[in-house]
Every structure is written in C-alpha cells, then in structure tokens.
Structure 1
Amino acid sequence: MNHSLVDENREVHAFHFHGKGSSFFMICLVNVLLSIITCGIFLPWAFVRSRRYIYENMELNGARFDYHAKGSALFLSWLIISIIIAILCFIEFTITHSEEIIFAPWVIMLFFPCMAVKSLNYHAAMTSLNNVHFGFHCSMLRAWWVTLGMPILAVVLLLFVFSGWRLLLGEPSNLNALLIRVACGLIISAIVFAIINGIVYRNWIELFAKNTNFGIHKFNLTLNTSKCIIISLISLAIIVPFLLVIVKVLMASFNRILLGSLDGLGGLFTLTYLLYIVGLLISFAYAFAALRNYAFNNLTLDNDIRFHSSITFIGMAINLLLLTFGSLLTLGLAYPWLKIRFVRYQANHTTVSGHLDALELTNDNRPLDTGIFARISRGAAPTLPFF
C-alpha cells in the first residue's frame, strides 16, 4: 500500500537541517590537512567528524540525531582489511607468479555482504535520536543471497541463454550480421542487467528496512518488484541518448584518424567523457529520486508512523551536477557548500506523519556485536540507506 497521501488528521513532522556551508568547510579543511599530514591515517576520523556534523544538525520534532561512531574503530577495520587484501595478493602472486591479481578481489567480494551486515549493525547502533539508538540485525546468509548470490545466479543463467542463442544461430555470415548480433546482444544485456538491478534493489532495501529498528520499534517496508524494475529500465533509457551521441562522436573521430587528421581529437575525447559523466549522473538522479520516493512513501515504523519523500528528478539532477562539477571546477573548495545544499534539499523534502510524542522511547536490549569478525567489518559499509 502506498502511504504517500498523508491523512489530514495525522501530525506531520518535517525534517530541518541546520548545517552551514562555512562551518562544514572548516571541518573539511581540517580533515584534508590532517589527512595529508598523517599520510591518510586520519581519514577514518575525518569520515566520522563529517558524518557527525551532518547528523547533529538534522532535526526531527525538536530533537537532533547523534552519531557515536569512533574513528579508531574504522581505522582498525580499514587497516585489517587492507592487511588481509595484501596477504591474499601476496599469496596469489606467490602461487601464480602473475602481476594480474584476480583471486584476492573475488575472496573479498564473496565475504563483503556478510561484512556489510556487521558494519551496518555497528553504524545503526551508533546512530540515535532522543537518546534512543537504532539497530540492524540481519541474517548474513540472507544478505549474501540478496546482494551477491541472486545476481550471480542471474548472470550465469544469462550467459547460458546467450551461449544457447549463439549455437542456435550459428556463425554470422558477414560483417553486418555480426554487428547486428553484437548490438542486439548489448541491448538485451543492458535490459537484463537493469531488471536484475531493480530486483536486487527491491530485495536489499526491504531486507534492510525489515531488519532495522528504532529502540524497541520495528521498521517495515513492502515494495513491488515490477515497480522497481520499471524505474531501473527508465533510468537505463535516460542514458541511451547520451551513449548514442558518444558513439556518433567516436565514429567521427575514427574516420578522422583514418584520414590522417589528428587535430582536435583530444577535445572530442574529452567531450565524450563529459557527456558520459553527465548522462550517468542524470540517469542516477532519476533512479535515486524515484526509488527513494517509492521506498520512503511505503516505509512505516510500528505500522503507525509513516514517512514521505517528495524529491524530484530535476531537483536531484541539479544537485548532483552541481556537487560533481562544482567541486571539480573549484578543486574541492565549493564541495562543503554544495554538500550542505544537497543534504538540506533531501531534508526539506522528507516528512514523518504520526504521533511521534506518543512513541515509547525505550532502547533495544540487544548488545552490540563485539566479535572479531564484527570489529573487522565495521568500516566495510558505513552508509545507512535511510540516512
């Protein structure tokens, strides 16, 4: 059921963001300087300081969020993960004597969903409102299946289908037939991957929501798979015109190379790269806005508190383009102001309806996981989808 229409009899509470670009600029400046001086060692503390400023300036119903994560916890996690990756790469190099490292990234990828669960458990517990902490408790096996197992199975099935299709059609008779077959294969692959992306998003965001709690209160979310697939396909369709222009420009550049004219090729290649980045950002803006609105408008807490998001495709696209190119053109100097602008935009278009004052402010009694694997994983996925 879509809860985007708020009952007039329900209290509506808007999010208010009080952050300022100038204050965030000073935090970012100190973070950059200390990270440079310490050769990157300060990065975990920089991450926590930036995140804490954003959270502590976000207000709901007169109360502000808190973020209690420790930079030392992230530093230890990132350090051990780096050491493990280095050891795996060394072992692979010793066995294969090849400079191409293939095995180590796959090992990390296979374990990443389980690490993400432990990381989200930590960062949710480190987030609070009115002294009540959030929580995330999920089966690692279920998270692995939704995040990695299901997509891998879908890709394997897709490869079998393409192999069967190729055997059925046989070898192409000429170059045109080969090009047509390649084009059809690319189109079908893009559509299938968009469908897989929609399915994975639906399952992952539901998995996260249904296993997240605010104190003793549980979140709930039910989404329609077909709706997520449609959003993913539209997002794919948005980037297609950009890709067509890029292909046309590259073909013109190739013809000029054949004719021996190399003048201006650098500018053309730069143009194609910029077009690709713009197309990617606009496509992502649509997916982000549509999926965020769809998820928030169906999200509930205790089946009584409801959420609403009203960000727009155009508004999100403008913010992402400004954040990306504004930061690049100013060598990062404008980033703090653009980041604050981006966060404020999302806050201004997010509301909560229901009697928040009647919500029992009681913490969940489940202790924080302090096992070895949990400590190693704390820096694996520090971003919470709903924050």
Structure 2
Amino acid sequence: MSDAPETSPTEPNASQPPAPEQPWQLVTFHGTGGEYFRIWIVNLVLTLLTLGIYSAWATVRERRYFYGHTEVAGGRFDFHGKPLQILFGRIIAIVLLIGWSQGALLHSAIPFISAAIVLGLLPMFLVRALGFRLRHTSLRNIRFGFSGKISDAYKALWPYLVALLIAAAGMIYVGNELLAWSADVEERNEQRYQEELETEEAEHYLEESEAELSEYDLTESESEGVLSPDDGWAQQSSDDMDMPEMEEFQRLMGFYGLIMITMAFIFPIFICDVRNFTTRHSQYGRSLFNVDLKRGKFFEHFWIAFGISIAAGLVIMIAGGIVVGIGVAIVLGLGLEFDGSPLMVVLMILAFVFIYGLMIASYMAAYAYWRGRIFNDTFNTLGLGDIEFRSQLSVLAYAKLWVINTLLMVVTLGFAYPWIKIRLLRMQLESIEYRGDSDQFISHNQVHTNAVGDEVGEAFDFDFGF
C-alpha cells in the first residue's frame, strides 16, 4: 500500500507550473482618411444646406464609421442611436448656449438665467448624454451601459457646480460691464468728435475773421491773443477724460484674471472627478469598469502644460523680436521707407503669420501634453472584470502630431481635417493594449445583453452634445 498522500481532483497539483499570463493584445483601427473624407464632405455640404439640421444624421454616420472600424478581441463596435434624439438634444443645447453667450444683446439677465440652467442641470445632461451614447454602443452584440443616476452625479459634482456658477456669473458680469464700458467710450469719442468739428468750424471762422481784421491793420498776434481758443487746456481736458476709462478697463480685466486663475486651480480636479464618476458607472454587459484616477496627477499635468505654454510664449516673444528686427534690417538695407509699400505689407503679413503660427503651435503642444497624460492615466488604471488595460501613448509624439496637424489645417483651409482626425484616432486607439481572457468574459456577459438594453424612458434619453 502506497504512503503517497491522496490529492483531491479539485486541488491544484503543486508540481504543475502556474498558468501562463495572458499576452497583451492591441486595439486595431482600420479607418482611412480617403474613406472618411467622402463621409465628411457629404455631411458638411448637407449640414450647410439644411442650416445645421442634418448635423444629427452626420453624427450618427460618423460614429458608425469610427466604431465600425475599431476592432477589439476580434469584434468591432457598433452604434445604434437615432438621429432625431441627437437633434432634439442638440437644439436644447444650442438654445441654452446662445442664450448664455448672446443673450445680453436682448437683456442683461438672459445670460445669467441660461448659465444657471446649463450649470444647474449639468449633472443631468452628463448622465443623459453618456447614458444615451453607451446604451446605443455594442461590441460583439453586447451593449454597453451606464448605471449612474442623476442624484449620484449631483452628490459627486455639487462643489464644482457652485464654483462654476459663481465663476460664470462673474464672467457674465464682466462681459456686460465691458459692453457698457465700450458703449460709454464710443459715446465719449463721438462727443469729442463733435467738439473737434466745432473747433474746426471755430478755427475756420477765426481765419475768416483774421482776413477781415487785416483790412483794419490788426496784427496777427493781437488777433490770436483775442480770438484763438486755449489748445493746451483742451488737450489737458481730453487727457483727464481718458484716465477713468483706463482705470475702469483695468479693474474689469483684473477681476476677469482673478476668475480665470481660480478656475485654473479647480479645472484639473473637476476633470479628474468627472472621469472617475463616469468611468466607474460605465459597464459592458453586467460588468462595471473600474478606474483609480488621482487628483494630484491631474493637477500636476495641467500646470506642467500651463508652464509649457508660458515658456513657449517667451520663446515666441524673442523669436518675434528677431523676425521684426530682421525685417527692419532688410527694409533699411534696401533703402526703403516704412510708408505702406507693397513689400512692407508683405513683410508685415509674413511676420504676423509666423508669430501667430508659433502661438497656435505652442498652445497645441501644451494641450496635447495635457490630453496625452490624462489619456495614459485613464487607461493605465482602467479595468473591466479580469481584463486589464494600459496605454503606450507617447506624449511627445502626440504633441508633435497635434502641431503638424494644426499647420496642415491652416495650409489646407480645413480640408485636411478627415486625414488629421484619422491620424489622431489611430495614434490614440492603437496605443491601447488589453490583457485577459476576453472570450470567457464575453460569454459570461452574453446572457445579460437584454437587461442592459432596457430603454425605459427612451423618449427622454438625449445626446445633448455638451
């Protein structure tokens, strides 16, 4: 009889090697610029011809193209949303945003009311729009979903809503005050213009009077001493009128700057919390995504991007001074004068384009750094059941692509947009990797497909487009 211990068939054998880890797999994107250009140009023409109404159908066509050309685990995404729902939500969004941005032209209270509605209902808009998009997205016949409730969104975001409401009210106040200030300055300028006209008429009258007085041998100095106005007093009065205008403008700009600095400290933390909330309530089948984004990281990424833009601004100032200096040297070397000649106009335009192009490129580089960092942070902490994700996006290459794409947009007057969007999407999507047994995961969730697709309240499930 053997002394070897018996092993239960369900217990793993210690002598067996551990199961090998699943290999990392890549997301694949099959879209091309030529294919998307045909969709984009038709959408653009029809949207213009219908005064924007067709944009909802254009959105559905684009999403179906991009989703259908993105491959994960041997399957491709699909979008099932209806254009009318997108159109209705978009109309609501446009009305509110027009009231916010242009309502002051009708009444000063309209922007405050619109901002209060937009920001006060922002959690509802967020939940509705994300719920619409996810519930109408599928992969291998399994729908995505969103379990977050409007009450959950308010609990997670209410401090930011208060800050945004205060900041929006302050910015609207500054905007209204600037409009009033501008109208007041225009009125003063008109008044000064009228005074100048009256002065010119008076001088003309004096000239005629001098001619008449000369007939009676009255000297020129005597006539001036008796009849000419005190030009020095007039100039001093004009200068005194400019001081209150400048002080008011500086006060408004200082208040606006304070608002922007305050929001700059809040913005990265707000984005982090929004991403945590939306991702943790997103699901595939019955399985919830999980993510662990840190506020400190987002704060760090934002201020590094801000530093990049400031440093680039200083470089642009130096480069602009060099360009202007070279232009002046060329003009003087050719013996030309700064008299608005065609060559001078061309040089000024080239200098402006060069400096403005550098400004846009620096902004795009900073923006790409911010987006690339939070993209990597999101996917490097993302999980779905036993499936892990990671992102290998090179922030430097991503920023370089943004700068090049911006220049292409300018040179081609926007017609390079389809190729630009395809290049950006391909770089982002094909940097994502995942690891896990996706086949078992999908078969586990297959039985729950119908539960996720429950569309109670479909009529109020809009994609607001914010």
| TM-score using structure 1 length | 0.76
Residue 14 (structure 1) shift: 1.0
Partner deviation per Cα, 1:332-383 (whole Å, 9 max, x = no partner): 32221222121111122111111101112332625235366x34x42334xx
Residues 10 and 85 (structure 1), Cα distance of their counterparts in 2 relative to 1, 3 Å cut: closer
- Residue equivalent to 2:73: 61
User: Tell me, what secondary structure is at the counterpart of 1:69?
Assistant: coil
- Residue equivalent to 2:304: 234
- Residue equivalent to 1:17: 29
Indicate if the aligned counterparts of 1:216 and 1:364 stay in contact, CA closer than 8 A: no
- Residue equivalent to 2:267: 197
Counterpart Cα distance in 1 of 2:259 and 2:415: 42
Q: How does 1:156-171 map to 2 (within 5 A)?
A: none
- Residue equivalent to 2:143: 133
Structure 1 portions without partners, runs of 5+: 1-6, 158-178, 254-259, 382-387
Give percent identity, aligned residues only: 25
Comparing 69-78 and 304-313, the one that deviates more: 69-78
Are 2:463 and 1:378 equivalent residues in the alignment? yes
- Residue equivalent to 2:39: 27
- Residue equivalent to 1:111: 121
User: Tell me, what secondary structure is at the counterpart of 1:365?
Assistant: helix
State the one-letter code of the partner of 1:128: S
Q: How does 1:46-195 map to 2 (within 5 A)?
A: 46-83=58-95, 96=107, 101-144=111-154, 146=156, 149-150=159-160, 152-153=162-163, 190=261, 193-195=263-265
Partner deviation per Cα, 1:143-189 (whole Å, 9 max, x = no partner): 346556326439969xxxxxxxxxxxxxxxxxxxxx9xx99x97997
Structure 2 portions without partners, runs of 5+: 1-18, 168-249, 324-337
Indicate if the aligned counterparts of 1:17 and 1:58 stay in contact, CA closer than 8 A: yes
What is the RMSD computed on CA atoms of the aligned residues? 3.8
Residue 17 (structure 1) shift: 0.8
- Residue equivalent to 2:294: 224
Are 2:447 and 1:365 equivalent residues in the alignment? no
Counterpart Cα distance in 1 of 2:69 and 2:98: 39
Residue 85 (structure 1) shift: 6.2
| Over 3 Å off, 4+ runs | 80-94, 98-103, 144-149, 151-157, 185-190, 192-195, 245-253, 260-273
Residue 196 (structure 1) shift: 2.1
| TM-score using structure 2 length | 0.64
State the one-letter code of the partner of 1:315: A
Indicate if the aligned counterparts of 2:104 and 2:111 stay in contact, CA closer than 8 A: yes
- Residue equivalent to 1:161: none
- Residue equivalent to 1:162: none
- Residue equivalent to 1:319: 401
Residue 59 (structure 1) shift: 0.3
Residue 30 (structure 1) shift: 1.2
Q: 2:53 aligns with which of 18, 41, 59?
A: 41
Higher helix share: 2
- Higher gyration radius (CA): 2
Residues 108 and 18 (structure 1), Cα distance of their counterparts in 2 relative to 1, 3 Å cut: same
Comparing 260-269 and 315-324, the one that deviates more: 260-269
